[in-house]
Amino acid sequence: MNDLKLILVDPNPALCDAFRTRFGVFQKVEVVTGVFENLPAFDCMVSAANSFGLMDGGVDAAITRFFGNELQARVQKRILDEFLGEQPVGTSIIVETMHPKHPFIAHTPTMRVPMAISRTDHVYSAMWAMLLAVRQHNLKSEKHIHIVACPGLGTATGQVPYHQAARQMALAYKHFLYPPKHLDWRFADERQGSVRYGGDIGLRIPPEMNFD
């Protein structure tokens, strides 16, 4: 998978600066300040999505305008068939766009529904899931994905600070490029320590909240 090129594309200059800081050590990463519609070449666009395939806001709305409303129907059918109506954060599915130049999207939820995710590991989990989904696609499909275009994950509705989103995305990419040779508790602790969020570390339900 070392031939995979990653284009980080976002119209926000401050986010792109954070991308350049965090991803500057990686050779096959390009940062573009702009919109994905203007990219000359990419095989797969990442949809920073919700769990229900409702693609009517933010980058998702731009994706459906670009590829057509039929794409949302295909995404939702996959969610119904494969996830019984709710695609979890931490998963990603490769869906055909039927576009001659840009054949795939990676539908990758960063949140169940629109909400703030600033103190979670959702950005890391989404980026990791997307990279694994592309890897599995390329292992199984004759039509490979060579260039992935990815916006900022969790940085709009999710309210994740730009430096934190860039850190989590770059960390997932680093872990993707350099997987471990074996697994033990030392490695697990190091991995969790590098991500830092997840579980009660990032999310605590106030005791006064009543969900009955």
Domains for the chain: give ranges and CATH numbers.
5-201 (3.40.220.10)
Taking the C-alpha atoms of residue 79 and residue 178, their distance in angstroms, rounded to an integer, is: 30
Answering whether pTM is above 0.75, one says: yes
Taking the C-alpha atoms of residue 51 and residue 37, their distance in angstroms, rounded to an integer, is: 24
What is the reported pLDDT for 46? Answer: 98
> Average pLDDT of 22-46?
97
What confidence tier does 204 reach under pLDDT thresholds 50, 70, 90?
low
What is the reported pLDDT for 197? Answer: 80
Q: Is residue 97 over pLDDT 80?
A: yes
Tell me whether strands 93-96 and 104-111 are parallel, antiparallel or unpaired.
Answer: antiparallel
> Average pLDDT of 87-98?
97
What is the reported pLDDT for 200? Answer: 54
Taking the C-alpha atoms of residue 52 and residue 44, their distance in angstroms, rounded to an integer, is: 20
Taking the C-alpha atoms of residue 68 and residue 103, their distance in angstroms, rounded to an integer, is: 13
Q: Is residue 159 over pLDDT 90?
A: yes
Taking the C-alpha atoms of residue 2 and residue 14, their distance in angstroms, rounded to an integer, is: 28
Q: Is residue 68 over pLDDT 50?
A: yes
On whether the CB atoms of residues 6 and 108 are closer than 8 A, the answer is no
Q: Is residue 12 over pLDDT 50?
A: yes
Cα four-point dihedral sign 114, 115, 117, 122 = negative
